[in-house]
Every structure is written in C-alpha cells, then in structure tokens.
C-alpha cells in the first residue's frame, strides 16, 4: 500500500492561518512584525524563495522588506546594511539568504545579525539556546518545520528512533537538538549519519523516522528504507528534464517512487518541507516582534 503523503502546503497554510490572531494582537498594541531579507547576487533558487517569503508575509500582514545587492558587493557593504537593519526599530527579523557569493565570509556575515533579530537561528547565541531548550531562542526554520510536520501529522516521536542523513548546521544538527528535547515533537532517540558513516543502508533501515538532508538527488534508495518508516525528504534538487518547459524538474534526496511503496508516510518534493520552512520563518518573526515588545 503506497505511503500517506504528508502535505506540507496544506499544513503550512493552516498554520499561517493560526498565526493571524497573534499578528492582530501585536498590531492592536501598535506593533507590526517586520522582516527584512538580504539577497546578494542572482541565484535563481534564492530569488524564487525570497519572492515566496515576500508573498507569505504580505498574506499574513507582516511588513516585508527585501534588499537586493549585486553579487560583487563588498563584505563591508553587506555588513553595513545588516548594521542598519539591526538599528531599525521597524524590523524585528533579519534573514540573510544563503548561499552567499564565495568572496563573502558567511560566518562573519551571518553572525553580524543581532541575535534578537536572527529569525533564521544561525547566530551562535541562538544555536546555544536551541541546544539548551531555551524557548527564547530562534529555531532554524527548516528543522522547526519538519518537527511541526511530524506533530501535525500525528507521528509519534517519543521513544522513536530517528535517523538523520546529513549533519549540516542548517538542518542535521539543529534537527537532532529539537528531537531529543523533552516535550511535544521530542523525546526521540537520534542517530546522525554523514559521509563517514559505515554501512549507511544498515543504519537508515533502523529508522522509525528517516530525515534526509544531504543535497544529493535520489541519494536514499528503496533498500535504505525500513518498511513502515516515516520518510521526511528535506532535499530540493534540480535535475535536467528536456520534456519540461523549463528544462528541469525538482526531486528530493530520496528516490520517491521507490520509498513510497515501503514507507507509511512520506513528504513529496516539492510540496513537503519547503512550505513549512517559510511558515516557520513567519512564526519566528512574530516571536521576535513579541519578545522585542516585551
């Protein structure tokens, strides 16, 4: 029997609707949550993502500002814009869209964002808070979104063995930090796999919940999925497809067709984790505005 599809588009839309009363309450207090996005360069995927964030903000009643800088913008100039936004009381959340051009030091740029406005959760202060379970810290939007996909779908994490394929600071590591904490969407036993993991298929087949974020199209094959497992595919990869008008199609890090006949539930690509990332960014922006006001 094919796996149940976990519809991130529908869940994200419902969660954004649930957020509206909190935004209305803030506006009643004279506070309009504000999100600024800095986009350096013209990466096509980043431009699409930034446009979708702007649309989601508009629909939710969040003030959105997008600062577009040329790909060859000097690092000091980028940092100067971050400093300006740090000092702007209308802006409660700042997001620097990645990847950045190679001449920029990503750590230096991302860490310049005021941790109170770091709605992407990349500043060391927020990383530490997430690891410690401090609710005032900003949880990175993609892992936060995955956690809510599991919660909203009724997937029990308590006592479950979660295997995460990928150890990036953006997904893998913060995902593990969220899942091991005590509370809803937590209390899991977590294994993180990476390029040095021995006999990876043997490890992934142990998973009750398999989360894949490695950036390689169809990397996880059917033989790597335990029958009945829940599969969360974080990857979004462009692969050539002459039959499509754009000349490409989007696929995940999981071989969807092979996995869907083994898994009990699975996220599609697109339409799975992606919409949740944007949703949780809005949640973080509202959290930032609330904390700033308090």
Catalytic residues: 53, 97, 120
pTM of the model: 0.95
State the pLDDT confidence band at 215, using cuts at 50, 70 and 90.
very high
| Contact (Cβ atoms closer than 8 angstroms) between residue 20 and residue 60 | yes
Which of the 8 DSSP states describes residue 223? G
Report residue 57 as tokens: 């903000």
Separation of alpha carbons 78 and 38, rounded Å:
9
Domain boundaries 30-114, CATH class: alpha beta
> Is the confidence at residue 165, as pLDDT, over 80?
yes
**For residue 238, what are the β-bridge partners?**
250
State the CB neighbour count (10 A cutoff) for residue 54.
16
How distant, in Å, are the alpha carbons of 139, 239, 248, 254, 261 from that of 251?
A: 26, 7, 10, 8, 17
pLDDT tens-digit readout, 262-271: 999 999 999 9
At residue 43, the pLDDT reads 85
At residue 293, the pLDDT reads 80
pLDDT tens-digit readout, 31-77: 999 999 999 998 888 888 899 999 999 999 999 999 999 999 999 99
Q: What are the structural domain ranges in the chain?
A: 30-114, 141-274
Q: What percent of the chain has pLDDT over 70?
A: 100
> What is the chain's mean pLDDT, rounded?
96
Domain range 141-274, its CATH number among 3.40.640.10, 3.40.50.720, 3.90.950.20, 3.30.1490.20: 3.40.50.720
Separation of alpha carbons 251 and 237, rounded Å:
5
> Is the confidence at residue 113, as pLDDT, over 80?
yes
| 88: alpha, beta or left? (left if phi > 0; alpha if psi -120 to 50) | beta
């Amino acid at each position: 029997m094919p796996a149940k599809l976990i519809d991130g588009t529908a869940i994200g839309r419902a969660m954004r609707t649930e957020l509206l009363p909190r935004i209305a309450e803030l506006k009643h207090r004279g506070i309009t949550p504000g999100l600024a996005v800095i986009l350096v360069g013209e990466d096509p995927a980043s431009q699409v993502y930034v446009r979708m964030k702007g649309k989601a903000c508009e629909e939710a009643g969040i003030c959105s500002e997008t600062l577009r800088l040329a790909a060859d913008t000097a690092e000091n100039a980028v940092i100067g814009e971050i400093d300006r936004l740090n000092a702007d009381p209308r802006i409660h959340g700042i997001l620097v869209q990645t990847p950045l051009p190679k001449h920029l030091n990503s750590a230096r740029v991302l860490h310049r964002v005021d941790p109170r406005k770091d709605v992407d959760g990349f500043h060391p202060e927020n990383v530490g808070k997430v690891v410690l379970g401090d609710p005032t810290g900003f949880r990175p939007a993609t892992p936060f979104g995955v956690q809510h996909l599991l919660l909203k779908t009724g997937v029990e994490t308590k006592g479950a063995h979660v295997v995460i394929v990928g150890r990036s600071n953006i997904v893998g590591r913060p995902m593990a930090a969220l899942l091991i904490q005590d509370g809803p969407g937590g209390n899991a036993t977590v294994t993180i796999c990476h390029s040095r993991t021995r006999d990876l298929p043997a490890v992934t087949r142990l998973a009750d919940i398999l989360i894949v974020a490695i950036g390689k199209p169809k990397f996880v094959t059917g033989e790597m999925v335990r029958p009945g497992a829940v599969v969360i595919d974080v990857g979004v990869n462009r692969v050539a497809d002459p039959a499509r008008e754009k000349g490409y199609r989007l696929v995940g890090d999981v071989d969807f067709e092979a996995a869907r006949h083994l898994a009990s539930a699975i996220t599609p690509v697109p339409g799975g984790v992606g919409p949740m990332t944007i949703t949780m960014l809005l949640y973080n922006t509202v959290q930032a505005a609330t904390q700033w006001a308090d």
